[in-house]
Amino acid sequence: MTTLSSKTAAPRSVSGWRSAQSKRILLTLLGWTVALVIFFPIFWMILTGFKTESAAIADPTLIFSPTLESYQAVQERSGYARFALNSVAVAFGSTFLALLLAIPAAYAMAFLPTKRTKGTLLWMLSTKMLPSVGVLVPIYLIFRDTGLLDTRTGLIIIYTLMNLPIVVWMLYTFFKDMPKDILEAGRMDGASTLQEVFFLLLPLTLPGIASTGLLSVILSWNEAFWSLNLTTSNAAPLTAYIASFSSPEGLFWAKLSAASTMAIAPILILGWMTQKQMVRGLTFGAVK
Amino acid sequence: MRLARHLPVTTLAAAIAMSGHAQAQTEITVATVNNNDMVIMQSLTEAFEEAHPDITLDWVVLEENVLRQRMTTDIATGGGQFDVMTIGTYEVPIWAERGWLSPLDSLPDAYNEDDLLTSVRDGLSLDGTLHALPFYAESSMMYYRQDLFEKAGIEMSDQPTWEEVREWAGELHGSEEGLAGICLRGKPGWGENMAFVSTLVNTYGGRWFDEEWNPELNSEEWVSAIQFYVDLLNDYGPPGASSNGFNENLALFSRGNCAMWVDATSAAGKLYDGNESDVADSLGFAPAPVAETPKGSHWLWSWALAIPASSENQEAAREFITWATSQEYIELVGETQGWTSVPPGTRESTYANEQYTEAAPFADFVLKAIQDADPTDSTLEPNPYVGVQFVGIPEFQSIGTQVGQTIAAALTGDTTVEQALESAQRATERTMQRAGYLD
C-alpha cells in the first residue's frame, strides 16, 4: 500500500510542480502586463517630450528623430527651479507636520483604544469623501483673512489636513500590528511613554512610518486642485508649472509633456530608490 | 572729523533713499492664458520694466478653463491675488456690472482710445465706459486650400454659402489621401463647438432665446442647422471630428488634411507662417459662409486685460495694461517678432500700417469681419441678449457646455438631432427657470 501510494504520489508531485510553475509564469506575465499598462502613459509622455510639436500630434509612432527643443522652450519660459523648490518644501513640510500630529494620535488609538476609537477613525476618513471644491470658498476666505493665500505655509497646512486621515489610518494599522508585549516589557523596565515611543515603537515600525511618509509626499507632490486655487506665483508648485503649458490656441503637447516629465522626474526617482522600503512598509504586518 | 560728523546724516539719507526706492517698486501679478500672443507679451517683460523701472511683472499662466475658475474665485471673494486679469468679451460686462472690475475712464491721451475698433470697444464697455482694454480680437472666417480648388476647377465666391460649401466639400473629400472636405469644431464646450454652432444657427435664422427668454433650441431653424452640421461633418469631415477643437483643426489644416476650415481669424497668422504650416503657399481666405441671413454668421471675441477692483496696485496695473494694449506695443511686437505676430483686431492704426498689411494679406478680411460683427444684433429675429457666439448671461457657461455635449452626441450618432435638441431644450428651460428668467 505504501509503495503504491508513493508510486502514485510521485507523478502527482511532478504535475503539481508543473502546474505551480505554469501558475507562477502566468502570474508573472499578468504582473508585467498590468505594470506595462500602468506605466504606458508615463512612457508615452516621456517620449512625446522629445518630439516636435507637429510630430506630437501626428499619427502615433515609436520611430522619430528626438529633439530637445521642447525642453529648451520650457526652460526658457519659466523658472523650473522656483516651482520645484516650492514642491519640495510643501511636500516634505506637510509630510513632516502630518507625521508629527499623526504619530501620537495613532499611538493613542492603537494602544489606548476607547469604544469611540473606531468611529473616530471612520469619521476622519469620511472627511476625504467630501469633494474639495465644496469647501473652496470658505477655505479661500479663511486664507484671505489670515494672509495665507499664495504662501508655502498655507499650502503646507492644507496638505497636512488633506493627508492627515490617511496618515493616521496607516500608522494606526502599523502600530496595532506591533506586539504589545514589547511595549509592556519596556514599561516594566521603567520606560516613560515618550521613551516607549522613541526607543521602541518608532524603531520597530520605521518601515511602516517611512512608507506612510513616502505616500504622503507623493500625494502632496501630485496634488493640483488646492495648489492651483490657493497660489499665484510665490508658492506655486510644479502642478501649477505644468498647468501653465496647456494652451487654448496653438500646439502644446510636446512642451506640456516635457514640462510634465520634468515635474514628475524627482518623485519618480525617489519612488524608484525607495521602492523596496515602500513595499516592505505597505506589506508590514500583512503576514503574521 | 567732518566725515564722522556727516556720517549719520549721510547714512540716514541713504537709508531713506533706499527705503523710498523699495517702497516705489511695485510688483504686479498678471494672470493670463498660454497662447502665442500672451507668450510674446511675457517675453517683452523686460521692455516694459525698462520703461517703467518702478514696476516689476509677475506672471501666472494657466489653462483657459482653470484660469477662468481661479479668477472667478478670487474676484468674487475679493482675494486681491491678481492685479491684472486676462478675460474675454463674455466676462467683461457681467463682471463689470457686479462691480468686480475697475472702470477704465480718463485714459491718457497718448493711449488714443478712439483708435480702438468700435465693435471691440463696445464689447468691453458697460454703459459706455471701458472696463477692460483689448489685447487682441478675432472674428471667424473660412480658410481653404487654393491648390485643391484650382485643380478641381472650383471658384470661391466673394460670399460663400453653406450649400456651396457642402457641394465643394463633397467634390474635394478624399481627392488626396487623408483629405477631409471640411474641418469644423466638434469638441463639446461653450467656447469650443458651441462658438461655431451658434454662428451656424444664427445664419440659419435661429436664436438661443426669444425676447421673453424662452429657449428656442427645438425650433425648425436649430434642427435644420444642426442636421446640416452633423451631416456635413459625418459625410465630409475628418475621422473623430467630435473630439476636434480649435487646436486639433489647426493642426489638421496646417498639415494639409482639410480642404476647408471655418474658424477663428487668429489662426491666419499661424497658417500663413511657412515654419508652422505646410499650406502657407496655397492658403486662401473667404468670409464665413452664410445661409438664410448674414447676421451673426461670424463671431466676435477679444481677449482683454482688466484690473480687478480688489487689486491694491491700481495705478501700476493701469500703467501696464495701457502699455500692453497700446499702438506702441503693437509696433514693438512687429519690429521684434515679425509683423504677422502682432496682436490683431484691436486698433485702426494696425490696419493702416503698411508693414502689417504687406506682411499679412489676410488683414482686410479680419478687419472687415470684426467690424461687421454686431453682438447687439446677431440674429434674424430680435433677441434679448448681447453676444454673437454666446449669450451674455452668467448661466450661459453651463447651458452652452451642456448643449455642446448633446450636439456632440448627435455628431457621434449616439442620439438623433431631434432627440439631442429636445433634451437640450428641456435642460435649458430648467436652468432658466431656476435662474428666475422664466416662471
Report DSSP letters for A92-133, one per residue: HHHHHHHHHHHHHHHHHHHHS--TTHHHHHHHHHHGGGS-GG
Could you tell me the pTM of the whole model? 0.80
Average pLDDT estimate for B153-177:
95
Q: How far is CA B362 from CA B254, B277, B366, in A?
A: 16, 15, 6
Q: What is the average pLDDT score of chain A?
A: 86
Neighbours of B419 (CB within 10 A): 13
Q: Span B256-274, mean pLDDT?
A: 91
Which of A137, A247, A253 is the best mutation test for B, with the most CBs of B within 10 A? A247
Percent of chain A residues past pLDDT 70, beyond the cut? 90
Q: Do B398 and B431 form a contact (C-beta atoms < 8 A)?
A: yes
Distance CA B155, CA B146 (A): 9
- Rounded Cα distance between A260 and A257, Å, is 5
Residue B24: pLDDT band (50, 70, 90) is: low
Tell me which of A101-115, B28-42, B96-110 is least confident: B28-42
Set of chain A residues whose Cβ sits within 8 Å of the Cβ of B39: 77
Selection from A67-81, A205-219, A266-280, B307-321 with the highest mean pLDDT: B307-321
Look up residue A270 and give its amino acid: L
Q: Write the burial class of residue B318 (CB in 10 Å: 0-12 exposed, 13-18 middle, 19+ buried).
A: buried
Work out how many CB contacts closer than 8 A connect A with B.
88
Q: Give the integer Cα–Cα distance in Å for B353 and B339.
A: 10
Nearest to A250 among B36, B79, B81 (CB): B36
Chain A residues with CB under 8 Å of B255 CB are 54, 58
Q: Residue B410's Cα: distance from chain center in Å?
A: 26
Distance CA B217, CA B407 (A): 11
Burial class of B154 by CB neighbour count within 10 A (0 to 12, 13 to 18, 19+): middle
DSSP H helices, chain A, are: 2-49, 53-57, 69-77, 80-111, 117-126, 136-146, 152-176, 180-188, 193-195, 202-204, 206-222, 225-230, 238-243, 253-273, 275-282
Locus of grid cell 520606560: A191
Query: Minimal Cα–Cα distance from A232 to chain B, Å?
Result: 6
| Confidence at residue A250, expressed as pLDDT on a 0 to 100 scale | 66
Q: How far is A238 from chain B (nearest CA, A)?
A: 12
Three cell numbers written together for B312 = 491694491
Residue A129 is placed in which grid cell? 469623501
pLDDT of residue A6: 46
Which cell numbers in the block locate residue B382? 430680435
On whether the CB atoms of residues B346 and B119 are closer than 8 A, the answer is no
Output the pLDDT for position A193.
86
Residues 6+ apart with CB under 8 A from A228: A239, A240, A243, B62, B66, B70
For residue B28, is pLDDT > 50? yes
Task: With cut-offs at 50, 70 and 90, classify the pLDDT of residue A10.
Answer: low
A58/B contact by beta carbon, under 8 A: yes
Which of A77, A144, A245 shows the shortest C-beta gap to B79? A144
List strands edge to edge, sheet with B283-287.
B260-264, B140-145, B283-287
Inspect the interface and report whether the beta carbons of A149 and B77 lie closer than 8 Å: no
Q: Are B55 and B278 contacting, i.e. CB atoms less than 8 angstroms apart? A: no
Query: Is residue A178 predicted with pLDDT exceeding 60?
Result: yes
- Three cell numbers written together for A266: 524627482
Side chain identity at residue B434, one-letter code: R
C-beta atoms of A150 and B248 within 8 A: no
Mark yes or no for CB contact B270/A250 under 8 Å: yes
Span A96-125, average pLDDT: 92
Among partner residues B29, B34, B76, which is closest to A245 by beta-carbon distance?
Answer: B34
> Measured between CB atoms, which of B31, B69, B77 is closest to A141?
B77
- A245·B82 Cβ contact <8 A: no
φ and ψ of B235, to 5 deg: -80, -40
pLDDT mean across residues, chain B: 91
Higher pLDDT, A277 or A287: A277
ipTM over 0.95? The verdict is no
Nearest C-alpha neighbor of B410 from the set B249, B242, B243, B239: B242
- The pLDDT assigned to A284 comes to 59
In the predicted model, is pLDDT for residue A198 greater than 50?
yes
| Highest mean pLDDT, choosing among A206-210, A229-233, B271-275, B419-423 | B419-423
Give the per-residue pLDDT at A1: 42
Does A236 lie at the interface with B, CB-CB under 8 angstroms? yes
Inter-chain touch A251–B250, beta carbons under 8 Å: yes
- Nearest Cα neighbor of B129 from B92, B75, B86 is B92
Which residue of A52, A232, A241 is the best one to mutate when testing the B interface, meaning the one whose CB has the most B CBs within 10 A? A232
Which is more confidently placed, A4 or A134?
A: A134
Q: Does A150 touch chain B (CB under 8 A)?
A: yes
Return the pLDDT at A65.
82
Judged by DSSP in three states, B405 sits in helix
pLDDT band at B306 (very low <50, low <70, confident <90, very high): very high
Cross-chain CB nearest to B34 (options A141, A144, A247): A247
CB B233 within 8 A of CB B122: no
Q: Does A247 touch chain B (CB under 8 A)?
A: yes
Judged by CB atoms closer than 8 Å, whether chains meet at A232 and B31 is answered as: yes
CB-nearest partner of A149 from B36, B39, B81: B81
Q: Which three cell numbers stand for residue A36?
A: 506595462
Determine the average pLDDT of the residues in A95-118: 93
Least Cα distance to A256 among A270, A239, A243 occurs for A243
CB B137 within 8 A of CB B120: yes
Interface probe, candidates B32, B77, B183, B254, chain A, greatest A C-beta count within 10 A: B77
pLDDT over 60 at A179, yes or no: yes
pLDDT at A249: 65
As a whole number of Å, the CA-based R_g of chain B is 24
| Bridge partners for B258 per DSSP | B180
Ordered DSSP codes for B112-155: -GGGB-HHHHHHTEETTEESSEEEEEE-EEEEEEHHHHHHTT--
Taking residues B179-189, what's their average pLDDT? 95
- Cell digits for B108? 491718457
Task: Please give, rounded to a whole number of angstroms, the shortest distance from the CA of A76 to a CA of chain B.
Answer: 10
Ranges A2-6, B108-112, B153-157, B166-170: which has the least confidence:
A2-6
Q: How far is B34 from chain A (nearest CA, A)?
A: 5
Strands B84-88, B129-130: pairing kind: unpaired
Q: What average pLDDT does this structure show over A245-260?
A: 80
Share of chain A above pLDDT 90, in %: 45
Q: How confident is the model at residue B20 (pLDDT cuts 50, 70, 90)?
A: very low
What nine digits make up the cell of B266?
487668429
Mapping DSSP to helix (H, G, I), strand (E, B) and coil, where does residue B383 land? coil
With contacts defined as CB-CB under 8 Å, which chain A residues touch B74? 140
Partners of residue B35 in chain A, C-beta under 8 Å: 247-250
Q: Is residue A144 within 8 angstroms of chain B, CB to CB?
A: yes
- CA nearest neighbour of B84 among B284, B321, B272: B321
Rounded to whole angstroms, the Cα distance separating B43 from B306 reads 20
Residue that has been written with the C-alpha cell 487689486 in this structure: B311
SS3 B38: helix
Q: What is the rounded distance in angstroms from the CA atom of residue A133 to the CA atom of residue A225?
A: 8
Q: Indicate the residue type of B86.
A: T
Instruction: Find out whether B35 and A250 touch, Cβ atoms under 8 Å.
Output: yes
